[in-house]
Structure 1
Amino acid sequence: MTLIGLGLAAAGAGPALAANESQAEPSSTTWALQPADAAGPDGRVSLRHVLDEGAGASDHVALTNFGERPATFAVYASDGTVTDDGLFDLLPAGEEATGAGTWITVSPGEVATVRDGGGVTVQVPAASTVTLPVEIDVPPGALPGDHPAGVVAELVRGGGPSIGVASRVGVRVHLRVAGDVVAELVPEVLSASYRPSWNPFARGTVEVEVGVENAGNVRLGSRTVVTTAGPWGAGRAERREEVREVLPGRSASVALELPVVPLFRVWGDVGVDPVVVGEDDVEVRLRPGTASFTVWAVPWAQIALVLLVVGAVVAVRVLRRRAAVRVQARIDAAVAQATGREVRSAGEESPVE
């Protein structure tokens, strides 16, 4: 699946476009899906609604074909998700929605036909725009908080969806069910390890992977700060990493590397600060989450260097002692020869026969 421009369909000076070119077609098809009112695109970047459980709302999307020939599109709703890169996306084409995507209906209006599997199929003439009604119906008993979803326009080829690759562009739906807001991020140290440097004069590295779980009911960004230090606070280091968005009930992970002085034991602290995303309204106090960890940081290179130095000193002393013994032996031999007496190694003298 290829998804281009989801959630950015009307951002900036102009709409974000999805372009695709097939060998079966002489020219590419370029299109955009944008928030709209009944008259056409209205300049919004997303569909945003706060509704009570059991309530509903009406909205519109505008689908524009910028190509030089008519094109057919499937327009439907789906659940929202966030990729590993922190970008908003929808479920892969063909995967059935089970969340807020099932609360959204794209109506055929006067220009489209109902599509098997949900949504509509619409043919858009070249260089033209069609507007499609969107109905949102929140079921009774829906839990308060954010329920991510989106509406997507997928190019249909040869009378049916393309096989293997789906070219899509979409509009994000920010849907919040009214009620108590809970904003909480919970950090967890997934792994922490020490990687030594074999240069005894360089620091080692602590590698930390931190999981950030959104335990609340609204989407939040996070700022993660990891600090490490050795005994008595020696060699303190700090690294920061941001996650653009973590959806309610979902988790994201960040990996950080910190230089450390290997003093056998390293202590680390993790702090996660929740951040309001975009134009969201979060009227509760955002409390930071914390976690801690420890890592063995054995200074192997430094120990090896010390052993090497000590070994060298011992070797030099042994060699010097042996050299001194040899010199003394020569002196003793010379003295014996000069006095006509034999000097034994034990220091005893005997007459020479």
Structure 2
Amino acid sequence: MFTSSSRRALALFSALCAVGATTLTGYALPAAAAGPGDITWSVAPADAKGPDGRSAIDIELAGGQEVTEHIAVTNRSTKEVAFAIDANDGYLTAKGLFDMRPSDATPTDGGAWIKIPERVTIPAGGTAVVPVKVSVPKNATPGDHPAGVTASVDTISGQVKVQNRVGVRMNLRVTGDYVAKVAVTGLRAEYKGSWNPFSSGSIDMTYTVTNEGNVRVAADTNVQTSGFVGESGWKDTSDAKTREVMPGGRREFTVQVTGVWPLGPITSQVVATPTVVGESIQGVAAQQTTVDTSLWALPWPQLVFLVLLVLAFLVIRTLLSRRRKRREQQAAILREASELIAQYGNKPEKSS
């Protein structure tokens, strides 16, 4: 179940077309979604008997095949509610959250293959199992075609109609030649140093991963930096779901490589290897891609520290030289005094 947040139309247009849009934000969850007023409900993957514990519906079919799945819509309100049921194409937001096209948009991909009842009326506290028929066209292209099914309720807020949607993600995969391939573009690097001359800095890198294959992938990324004083590395160990990219989709990522010393030119290399997300696929060759960029990082803290060392050396050297000269002068005065004393002290006294 993914919950929705309503986007309100401008009041200027509400008199002409008061239709609210919603955003779907995640996988199926057991909690009920808050709806208009005191209406709450939940939607979950199911079999013909009821919820079956899945978080999403995964389907793999060949072109021309069909299957009937189910979703369970539970009315957690204290009154009977009529829910609108719709299906549409799915996609990922910039933050990697699953979303669906608005219900008034005509589906053009996986959402167009789904047939469902338009409405279902559920008594207070009741659950309805809704059949979801998926028919894959014979000429469907191999790979993933994300979609979703929602149950929604409309409410009026002032002069604006707001649609609240709660739904289930459907991962539709058409069998055939699967391709797992990504491209890395827009690589930018910026060095951030420390004013402590004994501390290294870091490189902040931003890049865009585009899925050029036909299946959902997560880019396993390794970053390597090299300069005059060695190399530093970074590897993305986050969950694959947080790095998922849909076929034809793109996402921007930011990483930080630490332990980098600012000693002139630094080369940064990004190596991205796609891995299939979801059900494992045998025989899919992952096509690795590599991009690199260079920047200059001048060692200002180290240079300042070096200048201070030189100045301190010169100051100490000057002070020591002046002290040595004073001592030499004092020694010379003492020698002269000793000679005078010796000279006049050895003369005989004149008798009267």
Residue of 167, 188, 195 corresponding to 2:164? 167
The separation in 2 between residues aligned to 1:43 and 1:206, in whole angstroms, is: 43
Aligned in 2, Cα 1:309/1:251: closer, same or farther, shift over 3 Å? Answer: same
Measured after TM superposition, the shift of residue 151 of structure 1 is 0.4
2:211 paired with 1:217? no
Give unmatched runs, 5+ long, in structure 1.
10-15, 108-119, 340-353
Measured after TM superposition, the shift of residue 327 of structure 1 is 8.1
Partner of 1:147: 145
Give unmatched runs, 5+ long, in structure 2.
6-22, 340-352
Preserved contact between residue 34 and residue 171 of structure 1 (Cα < 8 Å):
yes
TM-score w.r.t. the length of structure 2 is 0.75
The separation in 1 between residues aligned to 2:122 and 2:206, in whole angstroms, is: 48
SS of the residue corresponding to residue 48 of structure 1 reads: strand
2:14 paired with 1:17? no
Preserved contact between residue 215 and residue 276 of structure 2 (Cα < 8 Å):
no
Q: Which moved more, 1:328-337 or 1:303-312?
A: 328-337
The separation in 2 between residues aligned to 1:160 and 1:90, in whole angstroms, is: 26
2:232 paired with 1:236? yes
The separation in 1 between residues aligned to 2:66 and 2:188, in whole angstroms, is: 45
Partner of 1:13: none
Partner of 1:342: none
The separation in 1 between residues aligned to 2:234 and 2:137, in whole angstroms, is: 46
Preserved contact between residue 239 and residue 257 of structure 1 (Cα < 8 Å):
no
Measured after TM superposition, the shift of residue 159 of structure 1 is 11
Measured after TM superposition, the shift of residue 158 of structure 1 is 5.3
Partner of 1:274: 274
Equivalent AA in structure 2 for residue 203 of structure 1: S
SS of the residue corresponding to residue 286 of structure 2 reads: coil
Residues 301-323 of structure 1 show CA distances to partners (whole Å, capped at 9, x for unaligned) of 00111112112323444455567
Residue of 131, 135, 138 corresponding to 2:136? 138
The separation in 1 between residues aligned to 2:57 and 2:257, in whole angstroms, is: 41
Residues 171-202 of structure 1 show CA distances to partners (whole Å, capped at 9, x for unaligned) of 12121222211111233352111111111111
Partner of 1:348: none
Give the aligned CA root-mean-square deviation in angstroms: 3.4
SS of the residue corresponding to residue 188 of structure 1 reads: strand
SS of the residue corresponding to residue 147 of structure 1 reads: strand
Partner of 1:117: none
2:162 paired with 1:176? no
The separation in 2 between residues aligned to 1:140 and 1:59, in whole angstroms, is: 19
The separation in 1 between residues aligned to 2:122 and 2:89, in whole angstroms, is: 25
The separation in 2 between residues aligned to 1:21 and 1:80, in whole angstroms, is: 22
SS of the residue corresponding to residue 302 of structure 1 reads: helix
The separation in 2 between residues aligned to 1:89 and 1:146, in whole angstroms, is: 15
The separation in 1 between residues aligned to 2:220 and 2:160, in whole angstroms, is: 40
SS of the residue corresponding to residue 45 of structure 2 reads: strand
Measured after TM superposition, the shift of residue 282 of structure 1 is 4.7
Aligned in 2, Cα 1:92/1:296: closer, same or farther, shift over 3 Å? Answer: farther
Partner of 1:73: 83
The separation in 2 between residues aligned to 1:157 and 1:315, in whole angstroms, is: 81
Q: Which moved more, 1:212-221 or 1:323-332?
A: 323-332
Measured after TM superposition, the shift of residue 40 of structure 1 is 3.9
The separation in 2 between residues aligned to 1:134 and 1:162, in whole angstroms, is: 31
SS of the residue corresponding to residue 169 of structure 1 reads: strand
The separation in 1 between residues aligned to 2:195 and 2:263, in whole angstroms, is: 15
Aligned positions of 1:1-353 closer than 5 A: 1-2=4-5, 6-9=26-29, 16-20=30-34, 22=36, 25=37, 28-92=38-102, 94-107=104-117, 120-157=118-155, 163=161, 166-188=163-185, 190-231=187-228, 234-242=230-238, 243-244=240-241, 245-259=244-258, 260-318=260-318
Preserved contact between residue 189 and residue 291 of structure 1 (Cα < 8 Å):
no
Measured after TM superposition, the shift of residue 300 of structure 1 is 0.8
Q: Identical aligned pairs, as a percentage? A: 35
Q: When the two structures are aligned, how many residues end up with a matched partner?
A: 316
Aligned in 2, Cα 1:81/1:21: closer, same or farther, shift over 3 Å? Answer: closer
Equivalent AA in structure 2 for residue 91 of structure 1: R
